[in-house]
Chains A and B, each alone.
Chain A
Amino acid sequence: MKGTAMLRSSRVRPYAITGGRTIARMPLLLETLVSVPDYDLMVHQMLVAESRDIYALCRSVQSIAEISAALDMPLGVVRVLVSDLADDGRLRIHPTAVHAGVPEHMLLERVLRGLQTIKH
């Protein structure tokens, strides 16, 4: 039945099937951080130009927005390339605070504490 098929496909969509495992796909928000867990020069040389630039940049932790700005790449392109690199295990997508399961009240307290440390 068409309705059931649509339901099922929408339930599966947020997951990527990689190497027999189903990995919950993190949403790529503007502030989502990504990093390279184990930088490998061989991988670097194997990648196509734009992905290679992202891979090299993310040796230090970067947000989606920072990648876009640093490489002068539209956000949409960054999102696609980052997802592909993450699917291949080249990049790690960090959860954002909302998705890391930090209770909201604790997060807000932590933000308040952090703001108080800003020197002026």
Chain B
Amino acid sequence: MVSRPSSTELSPTAISTKIVIAGGFGAGKTTFVRSISEIEPVTTEALMTEASQDFDDLAATPEKITTTVAMDFGRVSLDQELALYLFGTPGQDRFWFLWDDLIRGALGAVVLADPRRLADCFPAVEYFENVPEAPFIVALNCFDGILPFELDDVRAALAIGPEVPLLTCDARDTASAVYTLTELVRYAMNFAGPPALV
């Protein structure tokens, strides 16, 4: 966790933005958020209802079953007037509707992948390929510095285009997490309109 002196109070005129940290279960999303956040990553719950027929043993209760889905987030005050929130995606793939909520208004997304279990990040990559308004990059969280493949092979395995930045990172390391976000923001600049003429 990063502690910064002016972090606790945001100005009454502050605005906010966000970046989404996606990836499979155990890829290091929470660790990544913790490396950058000035608050301890917190978990919040979204309430959803599911049709009761999926729960035969509870058929006696006709009401819908409510399930909570946890997602965690952290915050960085980039300046006194601008707060950046980092949201980790919930692990379970069946909560795609929550991803839509997470990504709405986001600057972009970092898809974290554990190189030993690369396939776990495929659903996230597929999701962001279908959300053209949110640029994404892929960061391989190299647990203990182990990258068993060449980056080009990883790119081929992920079937991502040559334009999508692919890098390695250490989710536990603040400098590495900052660098990863920086790469995303630089990449997002290619999608933004031209700089204002001022």
Contacts and interface: CB of A to CB of B under 8 A. Distances in A.
Interface residues of A, number: 46
A119 B177 CA distance: 12
B148 interface: no
B53 interface: no
Given A110-B79, A120-B2, A105 B195 contact: yes
Interface stretch (A8-16, A48-56, A59-67): A59-67
B87 A33 contact: no
Interface centre among A60, A65, A95, A103 (most CB of B within 10 A): A65
A100 B15 contact: yes
B84 interface: yes
B85 A69 contact: no
Contact of A75 (B42, B46, B186): B46
Interface string A77-120: 10000000000000000111111101111111011111111111
Given A63-B85, A74-B45, A105-B194, A110 B78 contact: yes
B44 A69 contact: yes
A32 B10 CA distance: 13
B82 interface: yes
Interface of B: 2, 4, 9-18, 36, 42-47, 68, 73, 75-79, 82-85, 87, 101-102, 104-105, 107, 173-175, 178, 181-182, 185-186, 188-189, 192-196
10 contacts: A29-B105, A65-B73, A69-B43, A97-B17, A108-B188, A110-B82, A111-B84, A112-B186, A113-B78, A117-B79
